[in-house]
């Protein structure tokens, strides 16, 4: 099949982030043939590459905890499974709060995590938080929750591993193949790109923030919107120290290790249109004066902005929209962690053998959009100007 001009495939996946590439792999592993994946840029070059790439088990519902366990297992076995370098930095994950009521919710969530076999999870008082992260100022802290076996990865390592596995199973992957539209056609759909067209029986749109624009002309509405993620890289800092990926649930203050340096951010949603990386950094430094004064001194080497595909209720869209038109988008910043397991669930559903242990109905793209349920409070980022 030529990369230019017209062509045909049984399944076309539009979007080469980690979720789309994982779907291509799991479809082919399950027996699907004639699968083509097209990506507008290079694989994993958009939201996936911009992710903090943290992998944590700390969530507050059975669903999110199960997805996190599966995501952690994917990343810890990735190198062996695909014979591809995919190091896992087991730095741990530390969630902190100054609010007793939030501390109580962390304790309740930890009980559920233990019940479901996640963790180990440790509930820490202020002194124990300081022992894990000596650079934190713990005066006024209520405490934290710590999972030492969690950590972070380089997201594009996983994308490359999955792409290798998919190609080995016969998937054709086309990079720098932008799609301008999708039309209904005889016996399926036509995917229209700058380099040609592809007719397919089945199409999956896994294009992140670009998914709604591709689906709306077909009358399909999906709850996906762009969320700007601003972060900064410091000069080398905390030499020789293990730095857990640390999030203050009250403010969105976030710190993680990035080589010899640190990546820092304020994890916020609902920011005004003019809220940019400079404002984020000002907010981060103001918070660091209280939470981590020793981190105020290292200089900033880079300011960066990425885009995540946000959804109202915190659940991705993964399912059928009509006939053989499917969608896989809207991971709300958790795509590196949850993209591979959700893609595996979707592939099984598409192939007629859904996972009996985990119903994908929670990701139904035809559901009515709504706010994040209260019991899933650990999914959402802190609202700008709002509570924790």
CATH number for the domain that contains residue 134? 3.30.9.10
Is residue 190 one of the residues assigned to a domain? yes
Going by the DSSP 8-state scheme, the letter that residue 89 receives in this structure is B
> Is there a single domain that holds both residue 233 and residue 303?
yes
Is residue 78 one of the residues assigned to a domain? no
Q: Is the peptide bond before 120 cis (omega within 30 degrees of 0)?
A: yes
> Is there a single domain that holds both residue 140 and residue 34?
no
What is the torsional sign of CA 64, 65, 71, 72? positive
Query: Stretch 44-57: mean pLDDT, rounded?
Result: 91
Residue that has been written with the tokens 């539009």 in this structure: 14
> Is there a single domain that holds both residue 11 and residue 139?
no
What is the torsional sign of CA 227, 61, 247, 47? negative
Is residue 84 one of the residues assigned to a domain? no
Residue 388 has pLDDT above 60, yes or no: no
> Is there a single domain that holds both residue 232 and residue 110?
yes
Q: Which of 107-121, 282-296, 360-374 has the lowest mean pLDDT?
A: 360-374
Contacts of 344 (CB under 8 A, 6+ apart): 22, 26, 70, 355
Can you give the pLDDT at residue 358? 94
Can you give the pLDDT at residue 333? 87
Q: From 277, 292, 310, give the residue that closes a domain.
A: 310
Residue 380 confidence class, pLDDT cut points 50, 70, 90: low
CATH number for the domain that contains residue 176? 3.50.50.60
CB 198 within 8 Å of CB 7: yes
> Is there a single domain that holds both residue 290 and residue 165?
no
Q: Which two tokens stand for residue 129?
A: 């938080």
How many domains are there within the chain?
A: 2
Can you give the pLDDT at residue 207? 98
> Is there a single domain that holds both residue 170 and residue 35?
yes
Is residue 81 one of the residues assigned to a domain? no
Going by the DSSP 8-state scheme, the letter that residue 330 receives in this structure is -
> Is there a single domain that holds both residue 22 and residue 123?
no
Is residue 319 one of the residues assigned to a domain? yes
Residue 3 confidence class, pLDDT cut points 50, 70, 90: very low
Contacts of 221 (CB under 8 A, 6+ apart): 212, 215
Query: Stretch 160-167: mean pLDDT, rounded?
Result: 98
Is residue 383 one of the residues assigned to a domain? no
- Alpha-helical segments (H) within the chain: 18-29, 47-50, 62-82, 100-115, 126-132, 155-168, 211-215, 277-291, 335-350
Rounded CA gap, 140 and 287, in Å? 13
> Is there a single domain that holds both residue 139 and residue 251?
yes
Residue 383 has pLDDT above 90, yes or no: no
Query: Stretch 25-42: mean pLDDT, rounded?
Result: 98
Which of 358, 359, 386 has its CA nearest to residue 372?
Answer: 386
Give the length of the chain.
388
> Is there a single domain that holds both residue 145 and residue 232?
yes
* CA end-to-end distance (rounded Å), the chain: 52
Percent helix / strand / coil, the chain, rounded to 5:
30, 30, 40
pLDDT in tens, 209-240: 999 999 999 999 999 999 899 999 999 999 99
> Is there a single domain that holds both residue 240 and residue 285?
yes
Can you give the pLDDT at residue 1? 42
pLDDT in tens, 178-209: 999 999 998 999 999 999 999 999 999 999 99
The mean pLDDT value of the chain amounts to: 94
Is residue 35 one of the residues assigned to a domain? yes
Which of 256, 367, 358, 274 has its CA nearest to residue 314?
Answer: 367
CB 360 within 8 Å of CB 319: yes
Rounded CA gap, 176 and 40, in Å? 5
> Is there a single domain that holds both residue 9 and residue 147?
no
Tell me the sheet residues that pair with 179: 193
> Is there a single domain that holds both residue 240 and residue 344?
no
Rounded CA gap, 126 and 130, in Å? 6
Domain of residue 219 covers 5-50+156-224+312-370
The angle, 0 to 180 degrees and rounded to 10, between the axes of the packed helices 62-82 and 100-115 is: 60
Is residue 189 one of the residues assigned to a domain? yes
Can you give the pLDDT at residue 76? 97
């Amino acid at each position: 099949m030529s990369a230019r001009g017209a062509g045909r495939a049984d399944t076309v996946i539009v979007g080469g982030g980690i979720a789309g590439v994982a779907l291509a792999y799991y479809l082919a592993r399950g027996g699907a043939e004639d699968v083509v994946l097209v990506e507008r840029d290079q694989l994993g070059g958009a939201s996936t590459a911009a992710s903090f790439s943290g992998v944590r088990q700390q969530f507050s519902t059975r669903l999110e905890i199960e997805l996190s366990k599966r995501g952690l297992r994917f990343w810890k076995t990735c190198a062996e499974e695909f014979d591809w370098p995919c190091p896992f930095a087991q730095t741990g994950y530390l969630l902190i709060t100054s609010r007793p009521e939030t501390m109580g919710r962390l304790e309740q969530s930890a009980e559920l995590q233990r019940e479901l076999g996640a963790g180990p999870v440790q509930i820490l008082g202020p002194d124990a938080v300081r022992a894990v992260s000596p650079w934190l100022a713990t005066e006024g802290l209520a405490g934290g929750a710590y999972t030492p076996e969690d950590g972070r990865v380089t997201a594009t390592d996983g994308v490359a591993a999955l792409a290798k596995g998919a190609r080995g199973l016969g998937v054709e992957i086309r990079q720098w193949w932008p799609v301008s539209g999708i039309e209904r056609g005889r016996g399926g759909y036509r995917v229209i790109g700058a380099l040609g067209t592809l007719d397919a029986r089945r199409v999956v749109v896994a294009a992140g923030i670009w998914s709604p624009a591709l689906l709306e002309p077909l009358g399909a509405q999906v709850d996906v919107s762009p969320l700007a993620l601003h972060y900064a890289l410091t000069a080398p800092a905390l030499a020789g120290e293990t730095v857990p990926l640390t999030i203050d649930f009250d403010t969105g203050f976030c710190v993680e290790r990035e080589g010899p340096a640190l990546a820092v951010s304020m994890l916020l949603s609902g920011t005004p249109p003019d809220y940019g990386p400079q404002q984020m950094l000002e907010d981060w430094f103001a918070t660091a004066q209280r939470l981590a004064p020793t981190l105020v001194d290292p200089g900033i080497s880079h300011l960066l902005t990425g885009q995540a595909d946000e959804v109202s209720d915190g659940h991705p869209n993964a399912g059928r929209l009509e006939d053989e038109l499917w969608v896989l988008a809207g991971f709300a910043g958790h795509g590196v962690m949850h993209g591979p397991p959700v893609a595996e669930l979707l592939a099984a559903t598409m192939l007629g053998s859904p996972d009996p242990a985990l119903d994908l109905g929670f990701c139904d793209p035809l559901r009515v959009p709504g706010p994040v349920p209260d019991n899933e409070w650990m999914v959402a980022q802190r609202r700008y100007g709002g509570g924790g």
